[in-house]
Amino acid sequence: MNTELPQVSAAFAAYLASSKDLAELYKRILELVGNLGFSDYCFIRYELSTPEVVLVTNPVEQLQAYTKARFAAVDLALQYMFSNNKPILLSEIYGVAENAPFSIEPFTANKKIFELSKAFGYLDYYCVPIQTARDKTSAMFCVSLHRACTERIQAKAASQHLPISMLGKAVNHVINVKFPGLLLYSDRDKSVALKKKSLTVLDAVANLDLQLGQIADQLCMSLSSVNQHLAAAKGAFNCKRTHRAVLEARRLGLIEFT
């Protein structure tokens, strides 16, 4: 038995738990994922049978397309994690739809989900379901290597399976203990140093196809106030561009696309 493995898991948890805020937690997870040879990750939780993407590195445009198409209701990957504990490649899950001898709407939708992922350069993911102690809760931690083929991702995952699994468990534990604001049915606004109005402005930028002046009118604010809230958001997420702040807020579950 490798006695170093529990120490690795504890080290992951300690490192992530020392994050001062959600933005730093996201960056530290990405750093550890990079150390394992991958470029991206996705942490998903089922809360009372409702799928919730808590942390994800995919481009904002991909997440927006996924949400607008309401794919979560039929996504076989989400259904898999709810009732399985064996690690699996995303291509194996969607392969059920791809290779079915007949066509029905859920299969058609899952083909489109996989096509969307590949269109953004994510050709496959290695997915590790996570058993949790919380009632009616399941989670899954997935890693990918941008533009890498299935065979390459599979080879990397084979050599790093245990660290990937332990990192996923550490992420789940730290979110439970230190960042419960990420969880469904909780007050997320308190989990970052951002005023509610700043999140409202970010939400409007993400979901309304309007210029900033029009957004100001829509929210009954001055243009100066809108710019101040956007500056506060960019400062909180340590980024220089508004679209990046929108992406970070979406990744952290603070705003949603409608």
* Tens-digit pLDDT profile for residues 13-44: 999 999 987 778 988 999 999 999 999 999 98
Sequence-separated (6 or more) residues with CB below 8 Å from residue 193: 21, 236
CATH 1.10.10.10 boundaries in the chain: 188-251
Among 132-136, 170-174, 234-238, which is the least confidently predicted range?
A: 132-136
In terms of average pLDDT, the best of 17-26, 49-58, 113-122, 214-223 is 113-122
> Per residue in 108-135, pLDDT tens?
999 999 999 999 999 999 999 987 655 4
pTM of the full structure: 0.70
Task: Tell me which CATH homologous superfamily contains domain 4-182.
Answer: Transcription factor LuxR-like, autoinducer-binding domain (3.30.450.80)
Q: Are 42 and 57 in contact (CB under 8 A)?
A: yes
Which contacts of 173-182 are long-range, i.e. CB under 8 A and separated by 24 or more positions? 173/13, 174/13, 174/16, 174/17, 174/19, 174/25, 175/43, 175/45, 175/54, 176/132, 176/134, 177/17, 178/17, 178/19, 179/22, 179/25, 181/22, 182/22, 182/54, 182/55, 182/252, 182/253
Region 188-251: CATH code: 1.10.10.10
CATH 3.30.450.80 boundaries in the chain: 4-182
